[in-house]
A and B are shown apart, each in its own frame.
Chain A
């Protein structure tokens, strides 16, 4: 144990493991909560995009145009700018601009449209014949959505949320810069600004580990769900 600590002190002299641990917790907190909301909002938006498109169940030009515009705009704004733009909104919603919770609105608003496009693509992949068959059996639109569209596209929805999760982890790092905490914040303030490159290195490694874990879980679930 002493040996490890000694090696630790020699390799990473400036790393405060307690801070590192807290920052990791904040990053995971931001990513997971934002991911859960992104999953829900992304699927809702994606379904809306898909269903209101031409030739689909709820064909509606106006709703489709508005949804598509919203998705395109928020997907195109660079995340760091989006956070700044959303400061008033976040203040009124959370009451502060500091801490991991304050990063959530921007994270969700930035990631949900990104995921919505992937949901739309996943839904488009479903064979039209299957939807036709469901109609021929007398299924209602609700039944088609919950018993056909979502289950049939589930592997693609999960692999899409995996990609989104990884994007979210990097967004949390950016959110850190404006005071949300987390590994990005730690790497930038304690690492870069104070010239402690060992802190930056360790924070990077921890971020990579989180990304690999997300990727692993995502791949595992996708494989398990895919019966094609």
Chain B
């Protein structure tokens, strides 16, 4: 659905040239939710704007839905943009228009007759769950509702692709989840391709099928979300994965425990896919004469299965502990000894 080849964008600033996007090759499938994660300044904002030519590339190609975007201009480009919806961090609604008129805006741009507009607007209001709010002005809505208007507006012309520019970064966690649920819902209902950029791994975990990690204008790492969670290669990817899998204070709390004698060996177990629900600990204590105490654990759900990490301390005979670790490894669970021996 979307193909980028050798795509680059450099900006001329007072301090010289800045390469925001550095020769990126990427392909995104139809119906996929593709996430791009990176810290601010990584170039993800520029990357998403290159997809609909809000930024013009310095070199390289962008193909969206079979159209070579960088060769279009004027009317052709405007028509191609109608096939690509976009939502924004700060919603960017027209405050002088009501919810219904905001949603009708892209229809007006396209030149749809007024009577049809009304019908389509009603469908969209229903789709995003804003029934009864059509006559309100954006200033009368909450952040989550504003983003729903943004989504309805972006979908008005039945686009093939939806671009989300930090769409949940200005929302509180609960509202973020409801907007993400809506995006998944739309993705399934309309088989819509969604590209989103974010700095929150939570968003990637919750709704993305594949993810690319961006740093300094390049893609450091990409793959299916579960794989990235399982085996993050780059240091930065590991940091992002930690955002989700480990509560912030985990490491500190566990390090604190290391000071106690008799803590034994501390293991970090990583489960992926269906493993996360297995009764591994029970199996271990039944089989080996060791005691296991659970220090911390968390399971996170992704679009393709779950991912969990568990910190346990194992005490007992050293030989037995070694056997225990070997046994856990034989169960396709990753083990890292983070303290002791």
Contacts and interface: CB of A to CB of B under 8 A. Distances in A.
Interface of A: 127, 129-130, 132-140, 143, 147-148, 151-152, 154, 225, 227-228
Contact of A154 (B84, B92, B93, B96): B96
A138 B79 contact: yes
Given A137-B153, A138-B80, A151-B96, 6 more contacts: A129-B88, A138-B77, A152-B94, A225-B96, A227-B96, A228-B139
Contacts of A137: 81-82, 86, 105-106, 109, 153, 157
A138 B90 contact: no
B251 interface: no
A152 B81 contact: no
Interface residues on B, range: 20 to 34
Contacts, number: 68
A138 B95 contact: no
Contacts of A135: 54, 81
Contact of B137 (A134, A139, A227): A227
14 contacts: A129-B88, A130-B92, A132-B54, A134-B109, A137-B106, A137-B153, A138-B80, A147-B105, A147-B108, A148-B94, A225-B96, A227-B95, A227-B137, A227-B139
Contacts of B84: 136
A228 to B, nearest CB: 5
A133 B139 contact: no
B78 A140 contact: yes
B304 interface: no
B139 A139 contact: no
A49 B111 CA distance: 29
Nearest to B98: A227
A217 to B, nearest CB: 20
Interface string B121-142: 0000000000000000111000
Q: Which 9 A-B pairs have the closest CB atoms?
A: A138-B81, A133-B92, A138-B78, A129-B92, A136-B86, A138-B82, A227-B137, A137-B106, A151-B96
Contact of B88 (A133, A138, A139, A151): A133
A127 to B, nearest CB: 7
A143 B109 contact: yes
A132 B90 CA distance: 12
A143 B75 CA distance: 13
B168 interface: no
